[in-house]
Amino acid sequence: MLRYMNLVDAILASKQLSLRRARDGSAPGRTKDTAFEAVLARSLEKSPGTAIANPAETSRDVKFREGLKFVLEKEGSKFVQKDGEKESSRYGILQSTAAYYGYKGDVRNLSRADVEAIYRKVWEKSGAASLPFPLSTVHFDSYVNNPAAAKRFLAKSQGNVETYLRLREQRYIRLAEIKPGQYGKYLKGWKNRIQGLRNMVADYGQGKGFRA
């Protein structure tokens, strides 16, 4: 059962999980995982009241499905010929992104299984799997939109969800101001997406738990 923990509980749970993995002979984490754990630790130091799920009780697959559910709700399944005036996409997956993650066909023919397989690879590459919920979904959704920007948001926010979302919103506003003809038409949708993330975070904070 998920529950909220204070700073001390969070740190102890994290340490206990690491010790359990070591005792069971699990492979040591990647350097990338260590970096994300550092971000989490700093965020807890700055926000001792932050509510997170007990890492020992929250499976990686549940977190992934929460992130996937949010992204697919926002992206839909429609085939887009010129996504962002760049290239074709479906389920929010650009043709070049699908090819990068091993898909050989045209994105218009993506099956739901293909979509899940691609997004699971994106999830792992983004580092979202190493983050606590709901930060994991916030970061994953941002990474789907722009990987480089998502990395900056995570570093600058130090893992604080609201700061992360504020940075993302500010970027969209700047883009719309600098190139209104190209990005202005997307600003409302971008803001709605961020509000959707804020609503998800608020729901979780009220104890509503996972949705997927």
* Inside any domain, residue 32: yes
Q: How many domains does the chain have?
A: 1
Mean pLDDT score of the chain, rounded to an integer?
81
Share of the chain above pLDDT 90, in %: 63
* Inside any domain, residue 211: no
What's residue 109's pLDDT? 97
For 160-171, what is the mean pLDDT?
98
Residues 6+ apart with CB under 8 A from 156: 163, 167
* Inside any domain, residue 212: no
Under the banding of pLDDT at 50, 70 and 90, the label for residue 57 is very low
* Distance from the first to the final alpha carbon of the chain: 15
What's residue 21's pLDDT? 57
pLDDT greater than 60 at residue 118:
yes
- What domain range is 76 assigned to? 7-205
CATH of the domain at 127: 1.20.141.10
What's residue 69's pLDDT? 96
pLDDT greater than 70 at residue 20:
no
Cα-based torsion angle of the residue sequence 33, 12, 120, 77 in order, rounded to the nearest 10 degrees: -130
User: Angle at the Cα of 50 (from 47 to 54), degrees rounded to 5?
Assistant: 135
DSSP string computed for 72-138 = HHHH-S-EEEEETTTEEEETTEEHHHHHHTT--S-GGG--HHHHHHHHHHHHHHHTGGGSPTTHHHH
Summarize pLDDT for 132-141 with one digit per residue, the tens.
999 999 999 9
Query: Rounded to whole angstroms, how far apart are CA atoms 121 and 101?
Result: 7
What's residue 26's pLDDT? 53
pLDDT greater than 60 at residue 40:
no
pLDDT greater than 70 at residue 23:
no
* Inside any domain, residue 1: no
pLDDT greater than 70 at residue 16:
no
Lowest mean pLDDT among 20-24, 52-56, 123-127: 52-56
What's residue 59's pLDDT? 74
* Inside any domain, residue 111: yes
